Amino acid sequence: MKRLLSVALGVLTAIGGFVDIGDLVTNAEVGSRFGLSLAWVTVIGVVGICVFSEMSGRIAAVSGRATFDLVRERLGPGMGMVNLLGSMAVTLLTFVAEIGGVSLAFQLITGVDYLLLFPVVGVLVWVILWRAKFSHIENVFGMLGLGLLVFVVALFHLGPDWSQLGHSALSFHPTRDESWATWAYYGVALFGAAMTPYEVFFFSSGGVEEKWGPKDVSVMRTNVFLGFPLGGLLSVAIAACAYLVYYPLQASVDTLGQVGLPIALALGKIGLAIALLGFVAATFGAACETGLSTGYSIAQYFGWQWGKFVRTDVAARFHLVILLATVLAMGVLATQVDPVMVTEASVVFSAVALPLTYFPILVVANDPDYMGERVNGRVTNALGTVFLIVVTVAAVAALPLMVWTRMGA
Amino acid sequence: MRGYPARGRRTPVHGVSCAGYLVAMKPAGVSIATLALCLLASGCAPNRPDQDAWRALAQQALGDASSAISTDQVTLEKRGKVFPPYLKTVVIQAEDTSGKSAQKFASLQPPGPYRQRYETVTSALDDAGSLLSDVRIAVVRHDTAEYPQLLKRLKKQSDKLSKLQDHIRALADDGSKG
């Protein structure tokens, strides 16, 4: 019974924790402009994140060590540093976007400008990362993030023409007078949002924090293979809600307030209140995860003591990195940069950094010295290789598409 | 999300006063110095998109304004279903997003044949911006008596922007209807 509860909790937090500010904004924007014609990208992205999360979780469970801990040892300091720099830049950008996202969510609740709120949010994130237990951070925000399931309920309440939705999901081309380049750009952005690098750092380091062993591999797989696809379904529901409300108006989604409006139209104030709780939990949880990921990555690369499973004074440098990352993120937001724009940039740059993140995981998961008999099987390797090719194509296409389409304008 | 045109032409540099230094430098140094001077000089010049890019940017600015107008319209119509701070934030952000886009467009140098169209588009964007400000003022003041009138104006403005977008889409390179 205790094991069943543990699995259920893991699956629920995986669903609630799947969506962050990048998923919220990108899915709603894509839905409003392209309907569900890019839903297939989310499906592919979810399969990809499942494949690599399972690998990184298995590495943590079998070796008792996290991703960056092994990358440097297995691929050498040079390659490890390239990997660290690429992934860290994107994770920091995502951290800025998430703190901005929490502030925007609080602005929707209080009406106070996000520029007055982000310093408070930044300090709050840091205090939680410093003081709160790892399991509390993961479970509380993951469970509250389930409030976003209100998008699935709203989708039914909006009374869509299901055949039209299905037709939109199967039309693999741009809508109205949107260009192929813009459509492809948003495809890459959606892919980057679904496969954000920090997710695997957090997942594998979290496995070490929670002291996973080989016997926990089956529970970890259940969480990944049930929780993430259901989280992906939530992403598609967000896009579908935006499609139903904004597409007929020829309006595009540019703000977090617009993302929540379909919920209000479908379910009124109670639905909106639940969605707002979901916004805060999803972005706050992701801010904590990205903040921790910066500390994990740097500390693991340099071989410092890291983690929430030891006292803060024992992992002082790990906590110092988190503090510096938080100050940096607040400094960026203080420039009055639009957090939604940072979010859009972060998902595209995530796509650019994907090969740097996922290639080393595939290498380590194939090394019998670390993995013993839990080394990748043929199917996992085939999937891993296919996805490595897909992420490389997305990475190469991301920046030219960004310039060519003027960031999807 | 909305950026400046990538294909904007830059104004040529006039009156470089340090030509003597450039002659004395190595070719690579000359190239770098020239590039730096060009960048410095072009920083003071307005962005000059070509005709295709200008039409695309005009449509984009009109689309952003139209999005903001539609969002305000839906939010005001269904105001009973949202919390007051939410309503306020949505209309403030709609005004802000549309305003930034209009400001970017207004700063572009229109290609020759589009001088008059530029006036038409910027005038429509100004009208939209003014209406969005009126909505924000009424919402922040909780002036609910104004809402029915504002909703009528939003509908009218939305139609106007939509027609103008269609018109710009149909323009040929010489500025006439294609």
Nearest CB among A268, A272, A408 relative to B1 is that of A408
* pLDDT band of B117, cuts 50, 70, 90: confident
Contact B81 A257 (CB under 8 A): no
Shared domain check, B164 and B115: yes
Shared domain check, B140 and B152: yes
B28 pLDDT above the threshold of 60: no
Which of B47, B52, B83 has the highest number of chain A CBs within 10 A, making it the mutation to test binding with A?
Answer: B83
To the nearest whole Å, the CA of B93 is away from the closest chain A CA by: 7
Shared domain check, B18 and B7: yes
Residue B113 lies inside a defined structural domain of this protein: yes
Chain A residue with the nearest C-alpha to that of B140: A111
pLDDT, tens digit, for every residue of A181-232?
999 999 999 999 888 888 888 888 988 888 889 999 998 999 899 989 999 9
pLDDT, tens digit, for every residue of A308-317?
888 988 999 9
Contact B86 A409 (CB under 8 A): no
Contact A255 B94 (CB under 8 A): yes
Contact B74 A265 (CB under 8 A): yes
Looking at residue A309, its pLDDT comes to 86
Shared domain check, B56 and B25: no
Averaged pLDDT, A12-36 = 87
Chain B residue with the nearest C-alpha to that of A401: B6
Residue B17 lies inside a defined structural domain of this protein: yes
Shared domain check, B55 and B40: no
Shared domain check, B37 and B61: no
Nearest CB among B57, B70, B86 relative to A108 is that of B86
pLDDT, tens digit, for every residue of B119-137?
999 999 999 999 999 999 9
Contact B3 A406 (CB under 8 A): yes
Residue B109 carries which DSSP code? P
Give the torsion sign (CA, A358, A361, A365, A367): positive
**What's the domain range around B77?**
51-169
- Domain coordinates of chain A in residue numbers? 2-404
pLDDT, tens digit, for every residue of B140-162?
999 999 999 999 999 999 999 99
B36 pLDDT above the threshold of 80: no
Mean pLDDT (chain B, rounded) = 78
CATH topology of domain A2-404: Amino acid/polyamine transporter I (1.20.1740)
Of A289, A231, A317, nearest in space to A97 by CA: A289
* pLDDT band of B78, cuts 50, 70, 90: very high
Of A18, A250, A338, A288, nearest in space to A151 by CA: A18
B4 pLDDT above the threshold of 60: no
Chain A residues whose CB is inside 8 A of the B83 CB are: 109, 269, 272-273
**Chain B residues within 8 angstroms (CB to CB) of chain A:** 1-6, 56-57, 60, 63-64, 66-67, 70-71, 74-75, 78, 81-86, 88-90, 93-94, 97, 162, 169
Looking at residue A11, its pLDDT comes to 77
Averaged pLDDT, A8-36 = 85
pLDDT, tens digit, for every residue of A324-353?
999 999 999 999 998 988 988 888 988 888
Alpha helices in A145-255 (DSSP H): 150-157, 162-169, 180-194, 197-209, 217-222, 228-246
Contact B70 A245 (CB under 8 A): no
Averaged pLDDT, A242-268 = 95
Helix, strand, coil percentages for chain A (3-state, nearest 5): 85, 0, 15
Looking at residue A135, its pLDDT comes to 87
To the nearest whole Å, the CA of B88 is away from the closest chain A CA by: 7
pTM for this predicted structure = 0.87
Contact B71 A250 (CB under 8 A): no
ipTM: 0.89
DSSP string of B47-97, one letter each residue: PB--HHHHHHHHHHHHHHHHHHHHHHHHHHHTGGGS-HHHHHHHHHHHHHH
What's the number of domains chain B is made of? 2
Shared domain check, B110 and B85: yes
> Of the candidates B29, B48, B67, which is a domain's last residue?
B48
Domain CATH for B90: 1.20.120
Residue B178 lies inside a defined structural domain of this protein: no
Residue B56 lies inside a defined structural domain of this protein: yes
Backbone angles phi, psi at A33, to 5 degrees: -100, -30
